[in-house]
Homo-oligomer: A and B are copies of this chain.
Amino acid sequence: MRVLVPFTARDPKTRLAPVLDADERRRFAFAMLRDVVSAIRAAGHDPELLVPGPLDPPADDLGGDPSGSVDGADADPLDDSDADPLDDLPRTIDERPLTPAVNAALSRLGDGGVGELAVVMADLALATPAALARLSGAGGDVAIAPGRGGGTNALVVRDPDFRVDYHGTSYRDHRRIAADAGLSVDAVDSMRLSTDVDEPDDLVEVLLHGDGRSAAWLREAGFVIDTGGESRVAVRRSDG
């Protein structure tokens, strides 16, 4: 299945500004994008970027073996796990905002045998092949993995009559749009897919449950889990 991943590198993740500067936010956003693209491929699907213009990705300096050595001395020349997942990735360039850009992409449905298309957000740093398999295996004319706070973090569309509207409480709106068009909706109950990483508190989830580039990047940047005195666990950046 083709999986669109909308992404913009223009001042991404502004709500992380209390803990990351602009350059760091950009690097972390690309680390999450690489994790998402890798998980989509590992689930057996075909990722495709949906971007407003050319990308200029920072070096994938945590790629390959993010939890271990990066010197590559033992690298198997036939093992391409060190390859940047963004290399050779198909991309559609659309300068419009998210909703019209995705709807334009959805207009491919029904043409040339395209029976379904998925849209997966680029900040789902906890996405795993298993979670994405549950998304693609869900039934319905539309399958939605809701995000915390009522967003639509991932969806599969199987009917050309469906259109997205990402503004506001999009999960509720997408259910209504589907109902108005007589389409069935299946919800995907996944903590991993519900976790879009927008705010400092979300970084705790990446440190707890992530095992890819995003978690490695945060650890390299000095983030640790802070259990001291908080009613809910927080992150803390080490001084060292």
Enumerate chain A interface residues (CB-CB to B < 8 A).
15, 128, 130-131, 134, 145-146, 148-150, 168-169, 171-172, 189-194, 198-199, 201, 204-205, 208-209, 225, 227, 231-233
Contact = CB atoms under 8 A, between A and B. Distances in A.
A168 B145 CA distance: 29
A187 to B, nearest CB: 8
A208 B172 contact: yes
A204 B150 contact: yes
B189 A146 contact: no
25 contacts: A15-B231, A128-B189, A130-B189, A145-B191, A146-B191, A148-B148, A148-B205, A149-B201, A149-B204, A149-B232, A149-B233, A150-B204, A150-B208, A168-B227, A168-B233, A169-B208, A169-B225, A169-B227, A169-B233, A189-B190, A189-B192, A191-B191, A191-B194, A194-B194, A198-B232
A49 to B, nearest CB: 25
A199 B201 CA distance: 14
A15, A149, A168 interface centre (most CB from chain B within 10 Å): A149
A232 B201 CA distance: 13
A233 B134 CA distance: 26
Nearest to A126: B189
A227 to B, nearest CB: 4
Nearest to A147: B191
A149 B172 CA distance: 25
Contacts of A148: 148, 191, 205
